Amino acid sequence: MGTSASGSLIRNTLWMLGGFGFRLGVQFATFVVVARVLKPEAFGVFSGCLAVVSVLVPFATWGTGNILIKHTARTPALFSAYWGAALLTALLSGLVLIAGAVGIGFLLFSPQLALTVMAPIAVADLLGTRCADLASQAFQAQQKLSGTSVIWSAVSVLRLAGAVALGLLPLEKTAALWSFFYMLSGLGSGLFGVFWVRALWGSSPWSLKPLRGQWREGFYFAISLSAQGAYNDIDKTLLLRFGTGDTAGAYAACYRLVDAGFTPIKALLASTYPRFFQEGAKGLGAALQFSRKLVPWSCGYGLVAWLGLAVCAPLFPFILGKDYAMTPSMIPWLAPLLLIRTVHFLAADALTGSGYQGHRSAAQVGVAALNLALNLWWIPRYGWLGAAWSSLVSDGALAVGLWVLAGFLRKRHG
């Protein structure tokens, strides 16, 4: 890695780390406010509905943000065409998927829950926040990670404002009310991101023509992220379905804490993502070599974060409230995910950058199916502990499988 490239990587990582650090603080404040105001049962209802929507989220952009990064990283002049195509895809797909999410809510839960909780979450995450994500990927494609950081921070700040409004307004604190404020924050962040990109780089043609011949690759990106959402979140929906709202809420709270601990790794992955496409253009071997350079630092952090979260577990009921007394017993089972996910993301991004997104997606879909089967088997028998076991087994299988797959493909194709 040259001096200039190293300096750029360090600078972008620091921008992302600073942004993620700010975002982490704001998200944690939002999480604490919402968890304390809603109590575990309502928080569990919201989390269960959110988990269903998260599986649909990647199809709202159909992987076009990743395609935008790929082509812009290699040929910057293509940015405008791919940005316009990505934004049009998000608007068209988002509207269709919102209707689909509400329909799923009718089937899984009840008409009231589908309309008052699922619908506003769907509008927020399948339309508003997706446009904000595309805007952040536009900055990422230009390797201007300061803009990416600002947009993600804006999403978090608006969400915190909604949480404060939830706590202060003299209204009954329900999952439906929080879903409404969640929707407003999502739409606000989407408008902010889109207009900022337009102000910096001008308007782009709204046409799907640049994506001709690339819908299959876009599908691979979308199904990959959807599978990721499934094996990360479907256990919360099933806990709500087979268990109680209190248990689902406490478990979802623990998962949020694990996600918070993963923040520095997310910063590193976001800053290196365009670089994987550049290295991948030389072949999988070059991408894997770049990935291995990141292993000592990222895995070292993952191990420290795992131990730190487990040690701090007894403190969380004091922070979240006495209604979350179950969290200290849950955290030690979920904390190892911090290390396991670090391992599999490094192999996954090497595959993506080298043109093997289809192979990555197939592995993730297989793990999502494994996770669903294990959850259906273990949650009715062991409750939240079965959900935790399924996460550990699934993520562990993915980590091993992706590195084995990468090694096999390198030997086969060079």
Cα 297 from Cα 267, distance rounded (Å): 13
The pLDDT tens digits for 47-66 are: 888 888 988 888 888 888 88
What's the domain range around 102? 3-413
Cα 270 from Cα 315, distance rounded (Å): 30
The pLDDT tens digits for 358-409 are: 888 899 899 989 999 999 999 889 988 999 999 999 999 999 999 999 999 9
Q: Do residues 352 and 215 touch, judged by C-beta distance below 8 A?
A: no
Residue 235: HSE in the Cβ half-sphere, 13 Å Cα cutoff: 31
Cα 402 from Cα 323, distance rounded (Å): 39
What token pair was written down for 145? 């990670």
pLDDT-derived band at 13 (thresholds 50, 70, 90) equals low
Report how far apart the first and last C-alpha atoms of the chain are (Å, whole number): 21
The pLDDT tens digits for 275-291 are: 888 888 888 989 899 98
Residue 135: HSE in the Cβ half-sphere, 13 Å Cα cutoff: 31
C-alpha to C-alpha distances, 206 to 59, 70, 189, nearest whole angstrom: 19, 19, 21
Task: Check residue 283 and report its DSSP letter.
Answer: -
Number of domains in the chain: 1
| pTM for the structure as a whole | 0.71
Report CA dihedral (16, 21, 23, 25) to the nearest 10 degrees: 180
